[in-house]
């Protein structure tokens, strides 16, 4: 059973707002049609006591692209976007917890694309500093939609309806998460993260043209992998390749880098390559061993949580 957090504040309508007051009108398009685009961002404590949100500009730029493709007006500058997230982070930070933020651009006015207006709502949630636990995967019967139906490169809540159905299917099969295939029967991604496969010493992940999100985290992981001397390739992956993979992992901002122990009942060999990549990822995002591909936006801390 998942316990949902109810933080004290969200950032909405340009200011901090108590959680209970963060409401949308029942008639707005954000509610009636699930019309929104969003980004998930992760912030980490570093050994020197700083709290940094990683890849903030890259997430902002992807939010702008998603909004453009769904014809949602979004005029907020990057500086104001950063300032709003920092304000919420400073209000919610706890010294013993990292944080995950969701910045959601809801359509709150308009009808069928006319006179559209939107509001950016930012929520923040505490997350554990522990490494993610290994998971089991299955391959879902539900498919990723095609680019001409609902493009995967638009990070919209509507794109996660199929993910919800796949997770329900996965729970019935005893799987922690599920892999979505595209219309051609090849691998797209998991329900909320991209997938990494190791075969013959090479890390492989599907390109965005296969129905995977244009992932900020995969870009970071690729750079880290190359710095470790690992080969990294973006190419189509067949379903059966997953079943005979040397190693598998899920990769995303919230998922981070999660090892996979089995898929569709096939137990995977003991991982050899991905654990080193996972360790390098956490060293980079936490500032233990910085890497130029991992950019932090550091929050000015209130005295109550400054360490």
pLDDT tens-digit readout, 86-118: 999 999 999 999 999 999 999 999 999 999 999
- Helices 56-69, 216-227: axis angle to 10 degrees equals 140
Residue-wise pLDDT tens digits, 8-38:
999 999 999 999 999 999 889 898 889 999 9
Q: Which residues does 194 contact at the CB level (< 8 Å), separation at least 6? A: 205, 206, 212, 213, 215, 217, 218, 250, 251, 252
Provide φ and ψ at 274, rounded to 5°.
-65, -30
The 10s digit of each residue's pLDDT in 59-78 is 999 999 999 999 999 999 99
Token digits for 129? 């500093």
Are the CB atoms for 11 and 83 separated by under 8 Å? no
Q: Please tell me the predicted confidence (pLDDT) of residue 137.
A: 98
Report in angstroms the alpha-carbon separations of 243 from 139, 204, 260, 263.
10, 14, 12, 6
The tokens for 251 are 């990769």
List domains and CATH numbers for the chain: 9-130 (3.30.470.10), 135-285 (3.20.10.10)
Per-residue model confidence (pLDDT) at position 306: 61
DSSP 175-225: -SEEEEE-TTSBEEEESSSEEEEEETTEEEE--GGGT----HHHHHHHHHH
Q: Is the pLDDT of residue 304 over 70?
A: no
Adjacent-strand bridge partners of 181? 143, 187
Tell me the mean pLDDT in the region 218-245. 98
Distance CA 256, CA 253 (A): 5
The H-or-E segment that residue 49 falls in is: none
Instruction: Give the separation between CA 218 and CA 251, rounded to whole angstroms.
Output: 7
* CA atoms of 134 and 260, how far apart (whole Å): 5
């Amino acid at each position: 059973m998942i316990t949902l957090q109810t933080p004290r504040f969200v950032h909405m309508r340009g200011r901090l707002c108590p959680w209970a007051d963060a409401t949308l009108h029942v008639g707005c398009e954000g509610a009636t049609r699930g019309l929104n685009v969003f980004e998930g961002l992760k912030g980490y404590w570093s050994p020197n006591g700083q709290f940094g949100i990683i890849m903030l500009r890259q997430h902002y730029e992807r939010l702008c692209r998603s909004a453009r493709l769904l014809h949602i007006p979004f005029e907020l500058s990057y500086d104001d976007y950063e300032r709003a997230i920092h304000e919420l982070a400073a209000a919610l930070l706890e010294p013993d917890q990292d944080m995950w933020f969701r910045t959601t651009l809801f359509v709150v006015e308009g009808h069928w694309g006319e006179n559209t207006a939107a509001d950016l709502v930012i929520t923040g949630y505490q997350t554990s500093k522990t490494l993610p636990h290994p998971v089991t995967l299955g391959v879902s019967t539900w498919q990723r939609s095609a680019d001409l139906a609902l493009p995967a490169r638009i990070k919209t809540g509507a794109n996660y309806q199929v993910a919800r159905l796949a997770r329900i299917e996965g729970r019935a099969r005893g799987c922690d998460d599920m892999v979505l295939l595209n219309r051609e029967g090849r691998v797209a991604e998991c329900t909320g993260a991209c997938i990494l496969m190791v075969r013959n010493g090479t890390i492989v992940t599907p390109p965005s043209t296969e129905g995977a999100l244009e992932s900020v985290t995969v870009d970071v992981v690729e750079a880290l992998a190359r710095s470790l001397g690992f080969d990294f390739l973006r190419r189509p992956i067949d379903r059966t390749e997953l079943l005979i993979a040397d190693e598998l992992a899920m990769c995303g901002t919230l998922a981070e880098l999660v090892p996979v122990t089995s898929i569709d009942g096939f137990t995977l060999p003991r991982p050899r390559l991905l654990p080193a990549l996972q360790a390098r990822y956490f060293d980079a995002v936490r500032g233990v061993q910085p890497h130029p591909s991992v950019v932090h936006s550091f929050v000015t801390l209130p005295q109550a949580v400054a360490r």
